[in-house]
């Protein structure tokens, strides 16, 4: 990661026109999210259409689908932003820090940042969508696993036996703990909604709730035999 950042710093500055296009795309993405947040709050998830969301952001439905593949995608964090934050947090960890500790710290920092901003809970998941939204979020973490394994392998000490395997196990274990948190949090939200008879997650069931479970999950992982510390 550091090598990549060094190479990027030596590249010519981004042409103004290209930078303007990137900023416009980012602005459109945020305007669509803002439009969805307003409409979901006012009309509910089921009462809001993609056409409504697009109109609220002053774009066409065709433009909407350039950024999101469905309404449900708007209930998730921006995957690119989330995983970029995890990568940045991991790159900032001390080089001598044990890989699992570094990954855990990076996941925690990213979860806290997104949780406090509300990015992981744009709207309470309505009845009938909770499992779909949770499944999609879990799948995004699965897709990120290969990338994380590559980053972990770069942090392993020289001479580490079977570094690709060890990195894959560490990355997979850390993300498995994260997926367990997401599933547990989702099940608790659903159980709470069912108990209250509302059919929707309560207002307190936000991303910060999931982020609060992550330290316990990572602590459990760190204390599993032969996983928390790898001797080389």
Q: Tens of pLDDT along 142-192?
A: 888 999 999 999 999 989 999 999 999 999 999 888 888 877 877 787 676
Task: Give me the chain's average pLDDT, please.
Answer: 76
Residue of higher predicted confidence among 139 and 207: 139
Residue of higher predicted confidence among 215 and 54: 54
Q: Are 207 and 118 in contact (CB under 8 A)?
A: yes
Q: Give the N- to C-terminal CA distance of the chain in Å, as an integer.
A: 23
Q: Check whether 81 has a pLDDT greater than 90.
A: no
Count CB neighbours of 159 within 10 A: 7
Stretch 84-100: mean pLDDT, rounded?
91
Residue of higher predicted confidence among 203 and 219: 219
Ramachandran sector of residue 118 (left: φ over 0; alpha: ψ -120 to 50; beta: rest): left
In this prediction, residue 8 carries a pLDDT of: 34
What distance in Å separates the CA atoms of residue 176 and residue 53, rounded to the nearest whole number? 34
Displacement of CA 132 from its chain's centroid (Å): 16
Q: Are 91 and 2 in contact (CB under 8 A)?
A: yes
Residue in 111, 83, 79, 87 with CA at minimum distance from that of residue 5: 87
In this prediction, residue 121 carries a pLDDT of: 44
Residue of higher predicted confidence among 223 and 66: 66
DSSP secondary structure letter of residue 231: -
In this prediction, residue 17 carries a pLDDT of: 59
Q: Check whether 125 has a pLDDT greater than 70.
A: no
pTM: 0.61
Residue of higher predicted confidence among 207 and 220: 220
Q: Check whether 51 has a pLDDT greater than 90.
A: yes
Q: Are 103 and 90 in contact (CB under 8 A)?
A: yes
- Which letter, b or e, does each residue of 216-232 get, where b requires 16 or more Cβ atoms within 10 Å of its Cβ? ebbeebbeeeeebebee
Full set of structural domains in the chain with CATH: 15-70 (1.10.10.60), 76-222 (1.10.357)
């Amino acid at each position: 990661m550091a090598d990549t950042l060094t190479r990027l710093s030596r590249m010519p500055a981004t042409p103004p026109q290209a930078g303007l296009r990137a900023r416009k795309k980012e602005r459109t993405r945020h305007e669509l999210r803002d439009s969805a947040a307003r409409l979901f709050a006012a009309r509910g998830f089921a009462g809001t259409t993609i056409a409504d969301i697009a109109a609220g952001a002053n774009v066409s439905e065709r433009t909407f689908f350039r950024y999101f593949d469905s309404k449900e995608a708007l209930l998730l964090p921006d995957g690119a932003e989330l995983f970029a934050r995890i990568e940045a947090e991991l790159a900032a960890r001390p080089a001598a820090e044990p890989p699992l500790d570094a990954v855990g710290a990076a996941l925690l920092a990213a979860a806290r940042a997104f949780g406090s901003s509300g990015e992981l809970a744009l709207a309470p998941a309505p009845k009938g969508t909770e499992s779909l939204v949770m499944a999609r979020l879990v799948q995004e973490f699965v897709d990120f696993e290969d990338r994380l394994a590559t980053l972990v392998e770069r942090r392993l000490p020289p001479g580490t036996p079977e570094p690709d395997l060890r990195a894959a196990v560490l990355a997979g274990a850390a993300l498995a703990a994260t997926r367990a948190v997401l599933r547990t949090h989702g099940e608790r939200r659903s159980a709470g909604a069912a108990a209250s008879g509302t059919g929707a997650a309560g207002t307190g069931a936000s991303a910060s709730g999931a982020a609060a479970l992550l330290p316990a999950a990572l602590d459990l992982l760190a204390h599993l035999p032969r996983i928390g510390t790898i001797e080389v």
